[in-house]
Structure 1
Amino acid sequence: MDVPISRGQIARQFLSAAKGVLLDWDGCVAIENRVLCSAKKLIEQHAGRIAIVSNNSTHVSADLAAVLARHGLDVPEHRILLAGVEAIRHVSARGARRVMMIGSPKVRQFARMQGIVLVRENADLVVLARDARFTYAKLERAANALQRGADLVVANVDRTHPGIGNRLVPETGSLLEALLACVDGVRDKMRVIGKPAPLLFELACERLSVTPGEAVMIGDNPETDGEGARRAGIHAILVGGASPLRLEHLIEPSV
């Protein structure tokens, strides 16, 4: 009788055949920017084919490249695609004159480096990213800007991401829900940059010089990693949560 091939073996076969390996960050590669041992081994095995595709909107690509480098892993900044960074690049390309930015100091500084003028009032456009210092005053200013007709660009719609010990870390989507509760008609007009939207997947394939059909996406969130990859024509491998697979199942056994 033939021995059935395990799901881990099947997943490793997909990885072995792929020309590009896209990895989620929070909850997959790292927990609160602490790289998991299994992720380190996986990246080492597929080093030249790796791109990070993350809804992270707190950090810039150089931050995560530095985290990986401390573990002896070399993933170039141009292959680290982050929702917050790409939201800023999108806004910069639009040429918006007056931008209200809700986000971390790092992402706000990145916006200024892109030539974006940040304002507190009379904004043409509101950018929403994860902001651990979110306040009622910021909510009030952003809501009134939208009420007066400003456009809204959102880094991602994730409500939480996993922290150490399975603690919930509030994400950009939880701030978005507060904003949408204040102003009607915004949801249908806002632009979302992060997964499951296609932009990060497209950029990752471009940076790796592969087609979507030649790539594999590894992540822990079926709504963003799984659904986003499916829409982009990329095979998804889900780990953790309800999936029977864990990251360690994807590591090729030592010879």
Structure 2
Amino acid sequence: MLSVAKGVLLDWDGCIAVDNRILSSAKHLIAQHADRVAIVSNNSTHLPADLEEILARHGIAFARERIFLAGVEALRDVARSGAGRVLLLAAPKMRNFARTLGLRLVRDHPDVVVLMRDARFTYGKLERAANALRQGVPLVVANADRTHPGPGGRVVPETGSLLAALMACSGDLALEPRVIGKPGPLLFERACDGLAIAPGQAVMIGDNPETDGAGASRLGMTPILIGGSSSLGLEDLLEPVVA
């Protein structure tokens, strides 16, 4: 499948990197497929430039224009919508990025609530966001993953765990949350556009059947799952090195 694909989409956490440490097999896979590769991740705490820098520290030259992240795309989506007042629950870096897009960040009376992975999530933030949603304010969520893989087999709580808390005290919402990341189509489509290919010409390599697998399949893209319940590891996808 890799040999005939015109595009190779790679997940970040648990596939290319664990705790932002690049896996050796990922380094070799990227090198083997070079310009056919795009990174498609539900990451909502980093910018493409950050991942470009992490890759560069590991000796991998990779253009940030081929890195597509749920947090960044969520904020761009909100900026394009023309929302005036935004209650943003996110890491400081993402708040700074939101301001560069012209978004006005507020604590109360928002036009939209935006939720991302926020390691500084507090009871006060939960209270403000829940009451805004109960008043009919729409909710945009970067990604719905509950966890992602961490070092030593540990899990890292993700945006979906915060979403569960928010939904638990928001009651029946007038509007369903808009989820930007995988398994939704937006990140896959942006990546394929960036590689100038159709979804059916790409494979998606990831570790999560609910996001990487299901999302790719819905677009006619071939998913290749590694880790977890899959018998494959990333090293199994490497082409043999000819001596």
TM range (shorter): over 0.9
Deviations 1:79-136 (A, max 9, x none): 1000000000000000000000000011111100000000000001000000001010
Please give the alpha-carbon distance, in whole angstroms, between the structure 1 residues aligned to 2:30 and 2:205: 12
CA RMSD of aligned residues (A): 0.9
Q: Which residue of 2 aligns with 1:21?
A: 8
Residue 91 (structure 1) aligned to one of 72, 75, 78: 78
Secondary structure (helix, strand or coil) at the match of 2:203 reads: strand
Shift of 1:188: 5.6
Give the whole-Å Cα distance in 2 for the aligned partners of 1:192 and 1:137. Answer: 23
Counterpart mapping for 1:123-134 below 5 A = 123-134=110-121
Alpha-carbon distance in 1 for matches of 2:174, 2:69? 22
The C-alpha deviation readout for 1:45-70, integer Å capped at 9, x for no partner, is 01111100000001111100110111
Structure 1, unmatched stretches of 5+, are 1-13
Q: 1:140 aligns with which of 99, 103, 127?
A: 127
Question: Which residue of structure 1 aligns with residue 24 of structure 2?
Answer: 37
Q: How does 1:172-187 map to 2 (within 5 A)?
A: 172-186=159-173
Query: Structure 2: which amino acid aligns with 1:244?
Result: S
The alignment status of 1:102 with 2:93, answered yes or no, reads: no
Which of 120, 141, 147 is the equivalent residue of 1:154? 141
In the other structure, the counterpart of 1:9 is none
Distance 1:95 1:248 in 2: 45
Mark the CA change 1:225 to 1:241 in structure 2 (over 3 Å): closer, same or farther: same
After TM superposition, give the deviation of residue 74 of structure 1 in Å.
Answer: 1.8
Match for residue 199 of structure 1?
186
* Offset, 1:16: 1.1
Give the paired residue count: 242
Partner-residue secondary structure (3-state), 1:15: coil
SS at match of 1:202: helix
Q: Percent identity?
A: 65
| Distance in 2 (alpha carbons) for counterparts of 1:52 and 1:191 | 22
Query: Given the alignment of the two structures, is residue 239 of structure 1 paired with residue 239 of structure 2, yes or no?
Result: no
Instruction: Quote the Cα distance in structure 1 between the aligned partners of 2:93 and 2:2.
Output: 34
Q: Distance in 2 between the 1:132 and 1:207 partners?
A: 31
Matched, 1:61 2:41: no
Please tell me the residue identity of whatever aligns with 1:182.
C
